[in-house]
Amino acid sequence: MNALLAEIIAIVGPSHLLEGDDVSARRDDWMHGTPCRARAIVRPADAEQLSQVMAACHRTRQPVVPHGGLTGLVGGSVASSDELAISLERMNQIDAIDPISGTLTVQAGTPLQRVQEAAAEAGMQFALDLGARGSCTVGGNIATNAGGVRVIRYGMMREQVLGLEAVLADGTLVSSMNHMLKNNAGYDLKQLFIGSEGTLGIVTRAVLKLKPQQPATQTAMVACDTFNDLTALLQYVRQALGEQLAAFEVMWHNHYALLTEESGRHTPPLATNAAFYVLIETLGSDQEATAQRFESVIERALENGHISDAVIANATHQRDRLWAIREDIEGLLHHLNPYFAFDVSLPIPEMEHYARTLEEQVAQRWPDGRIVVFGHLGDGNLHIAVTTGHPDDAALADDKLAVEALVYLPLAAMGGSVSAEHGIGLDKRAYLHLSRTSAEISLMRTLKQALDPHALLNRHKILPVEVP
């Protein structure tokens, strides 16, 4: 190992290989919050340096774990003491913006928010948006096929990527930096790396699609008394708002009440006696026309009984206060700690029964337990936080397994997924078979074996790997 580290220092420079306390001072990811245990952290400056580092690791059969913004929630960045962490934090530049073609070329370590800001400065927008925008990176967004709050309109990260560049396990630099909307010349190689969680290659650059800027934003929070009202509202706004509908974010009562009235973290914009609360947001090009259309739709939803109450944001700071309730994950962590976080997808008609059954099962097994449910209902994605009320670390491991069974096992019969947008990582590996067939998993193994035969890239993530 020492000889390999010396070789890596010669490639990246002595100040860009971290060891000892400089490693343990960092964490592996946001959710776990545990100190990084990697043998060392390598910080290459560009794809060429990363290629040389991986070639050296390949020769010595040294496993590595890619590190981006470390905002993951499934253990995808966890490194053991015999692994090297490869941080892309120095690869954080926007290389080019082409407003005419609608593309932005960016290095993988660049935070999502910087991409959004650069697109805005060019009179365009980058459509992906999520709460961790200030910390998460483009490479991580690609590796996990990130979703976020605008999937209902723009789709997942996969839909935002035209081309990319990646370094393979043996150091080969594969450049598939396509800038064209249409390119059917053989296999679309970028799809191998999008959503593969760094197990097939490390993304170093990408060509992203930009969209026309939509400066007219309208936001409302509304209350629904029943799940039938909620689904009727979704159908209505999809039809009435059409292509302008950008977000339909739902909070169950347990989420909304906890973060407003119960905790005092946010002033409730609506009374806390409804079953569901929805953030509805539209994006348009004409402020007056967009506002009139939006207000008319909300008024009609009140008249036809789909919603029982509503508040429309009239200024940016009011919009921010509404969204703060939905995005206050730190508040959940503070008031439910310790809790287990889940990200699942399932058919919308099944959601009410699924969430109610889970809440009843948790309460029955753990008298001090509780759950919180929220998410991107418009695209079938729920986020669930579960606490069993046990502060004792000794009980948490058993509790985690028991809660996972309650959350994941019913999804198979519904045709749901154990991961809607966060990936598999380490935490969901044992449940992958609930959402993928044996033939699919076998093909995943074939791809892994072909591209990384020595299992050096993010070893044990997604699939259990027998080390050669």
pLDDT at 392: 67
Question: Once rounded to an integer, what is the mean pLDDT over residues 69-93?
Answer: 95
Is residue 391 predicted with pLDDT exceeding 90?
A: no
Question: Once rounded to an integer, what is the mean pLDDT over residues 365-382?
Answer: 94
Percent of the chain surpassing pLDDT 90 = 91
* Stretch among 204-208, 240-244, 268-272, 397-401 having the lowest mean pLDDT: 397-401
* Stretch among 76-90, 115-129, 392-406 having the lowest mean pLDDT: 392-406
Percent of the chain surpassing pLDDT 70 = 98
pLDDT at 393: 66
Q: Rounded to two decimals, what is the model's pTM?
A: 0.93
CATH of 216-327, one of 1.10.760.10, 3.40.50.2300, 2.60.40.10, 3.30.70.2190: 3.30.70.2190
> Sheet harboring 216-224: ordered strands across?
309-312, 216-224, 276-284, 245-252, 370-376, 381-387, 340-345
> Sheet harboring 40-42: ordered strands across?
17-18, 40-42, 84-87, 64-67
- Give exposure, 74-111, as e/b (b: 16+ Cβ within 10 Å): bbbbbbeeebbbbbbbebbebeebeeeebbbbbbbbbb
Model confidence pLDDT, tens digit, residues 274-302: 999 999 999 999 999 999 999 999 999 99
Q: What Rg, from alpha-carbon coordinates, does the chain have? A: 23
Count CA atoms within 13 Å of residue 455 on its CB side: 12
So where are the chain's domains?
94-212, 216-327, 330-423
| Model confidence band, residue 465 (pLDDT cutoffs 50, 70, 90) | low
Model confidence pLDDT, tens digit, residues 304-352: 999 999 999 999 999 999 999 999 988 998 899 888 999 999 999 999 9
Q: Which residue has the higher pLDDT, 140 or 31?
A: 140
- Write out the CATH class of domain 330-423: alpha beta
Question: Once rounded to an integer, what is the mean pLDDT over residues 369-376?
Answer: 95
Distances (CA, A) of 467 to 215, 345, 364, 439, 459: 52, 32, 42, 22, 8
pLDDT at 260: 97
Question: Once rounded to an integer, what is the mean pLDDT over residues 435-453?
Answer: 96
pLDDT at 467: 56
Model confidence pLDDT, tens digit, residues 305-317: 999 999 999 999 9
What is the Cα–Cα distance from 165 to 47, expressed in whole angstroms?
9
Is residue 390 predicted with pLDDT exceeding 80?
A: no
Is residue 30 predicted with pLDDT exceeding 90?
A: no
CATH architecture group of domain 94-212: 2-Layer Sandwich (3.30)
Q: DSSP letters of 72-108? A: -SSSTT---TTSEEEE-TT---EEEEETTTTEEEEET
pLDDT at 466: 61
* CB count in 10 Å sphere of residue 404: 18
pLDDT at 451: 97
What is the Cα–Cα distance from 282 to 238, expressed in whole angstroms?
11
Is residue 418 predicted with pLDDT exceeding 70?
A: yes
Mean pLDDT of the chain: 95
* Stretch among 27-36, 168-177, 182-191, 299-308 having the lowest mean pLDDT: 27-36
| Model confidence band, residue 34 (pLDDT cutoffs 50, 70, 90) | confident
Question: Once rounded to an integer, what is the mean pLDDT over residues 226-231?
Answer: 98
Question: Once rounded to an integer, what is the mean pLDDT over residues 342-365?
Answer: 97
Q: Which residues pair with 164 in a beta bridge?
A: 176, 206
Same fold, 94-212 and 216-327: no
Question: Once rounded to an integer, what is the mean pLDDT over residues 111-125?
Answer: 97
pLDDT at 93: 97
